[in-house]
Amino acid sequence: MADTHGGRAIDRVEVFVLRHKLDPRTGPSIAYSTYHSHTLVKFTDSDGRAGWGETYTVPGLPEMLREVGESLVGRSAGDLKALVRDIRWSLEHPYAVSALVIGLEDLRARQLGVSIAESYGGGGFRTKVRAYAASGGYIEGRDPADTWPDEVARVRALGFTALKLRLGREAIGHEAPLLEKMRADLPREFALMADGNAGYTFAGAVEMGRVLERLGFLWWEEPIRQRDTYAGFERLAAILDIALAGGEVLPNRGEAVEFLARRAVDIVQPEPVICGGIGETIWIAELADLHAIAAMPHTSNSGIGIAAALQVLAAQPPTTRSIGASPEPFLEFGVDDNPYRSGILATPLEFNDGWVTIPSGPGLGVEIDEEYVRTHAV
């Protein structure tokens, strides 16, 4: 196909849905999940190069990606800004925008023979990043008194040196003593974080936040409802000494500008597969630095989402905004039952002593096992 915009033309767009059933069901404070479901988009150019994007599956999303993706056939990934502008005009759903943009970012960088981080003028700031294990949350029908010790032992056996727990399903009076014992039993250098997943009232978030402060947790993530433009977060940040984290559902840079200006959090966590891609996540992180707010990408996805976060971290300059006990940002790495976290990658990510090496190859830096994707796609 002829390219009317310069460079190698987009020749084909494909969409895949991957769905894994959770048995037993697991989840955060507010809901159990029955499935992990990811939607992938693949752009192929006229030379056979491919760029991959990803986001969470929501109703109607695959159809959006197919329709808008096909409108890009014949155009060049090198014209990224024009493509992103047209995608945003065509789509109002941030998940769909993000999947398409990441796919185009991957394809453009592969055509240039550089990583996505390098295509944005970064890539040399760090070659590895400390990972924290992100808990899958509560297991249906089981008490955290029984499951949390097993989870801590498992993540330590895997080599992690940090763990983010999901709190709020049980009463504070039940969970606080469990956290106290956990902290006492762990080595001092093992870091703990907590995610309330919008499960608390404002008063409850303050009460549990005080517990976490006393126990030395690094941050308290989104304990109250975030969908209503993060209402009340600046009040909570002003009351608590523990770092307040949030921002994973920010849909674009416009809302990020207002959110950061409010000083609503101490740590902002834009997610590449929600906020509009890797470039947007880097932009939000740089803006956060101007507000003296620490930044790190949020991830709870399959292999592509994690690779996207790693490209952000490669391009994110060092900052003086210390995150608890760590002067550097962390990588969130889920440890729940999700085969697509590693299964879709042709080569696993390199993990040693709690650190993940940032892939240095072109694009996302990882190669997708396309046969695996096609075999498991719904």
5 pLDDT higher than 70: no
| CATH number for the domain formed by residue range(s) 10-113 | 3.30.390.10
pLDDT in tens, 61-85: 999 999 999 999 999 999 999 999 9
| pLDDT at residue 138, as a whole number | 98
**Look-up of token digits 């440890």:** 335
pLDDT band at 123; cut points 50, 70, 90: confident
Average pLDDT on 334-355 reads 96
Three-state DSSP state, 137:
coil
Q: Are 330 and 373 in contact (CB under 8 A)?
A: no
Q: Are 180 and 186 in contact (CB under 8 A)?
A: no
320 pLDDT higher than 80: no
Phi, psi torsion values for 281, nearest 5 degrees = -65, -40
3 pLDDT higher than 60: no
What is 158-195 written as a DSSP string?
HT-SEEEEE--SS-HHHHHHHHHHHHHHS-TTSEEEEE
| pLDDT at residue 323, as a whole number | 66
pLDDT band at 206; cut points 50, 70, 90: very high
10-113 matches 119-357 in fold: no
2 pLDDT higher than 50: no
Choose among 240, 242, 298: nearest CA to 268.
298
Average pLDDT on 257-277 reads 96
Average pLDDT on 211-215 reads 98
Q: What is the mean pLDDT of the chain?
A: 94
| pLDDT at residue 6, as a whole number | 46
294 pLDDT higher than 70: yes
20 pLDDT higher than 80: yes
pLDDT in tens, 142-188: 999 999 999 999 999 999 999 999 999 999 999 999 999 999 999 99
| pLDDT at residue 232, as a whole number | 95
| pLDDT at residue 4, as a whole number | 43
CATH 3.20.20.120 fits 119-357, yes or no: yes
What is 267-310 written as a DSSP string?
EE---HHHHTSHHHHHHHHHHHHHTT-EE-----SSHHHHHHHH
pLDDT band at 336; cut points 50, 70, 90: very high
pLDDT in tens, 85-115: 999 999 999 999 999 999 999 999 999 999 9
Q: Enumerate the domain spans of the chain.
A: 10-113, 119-357
What's the whole-model pTM score?
0.96
| pLDDT at residue 300, as a whole number | 80
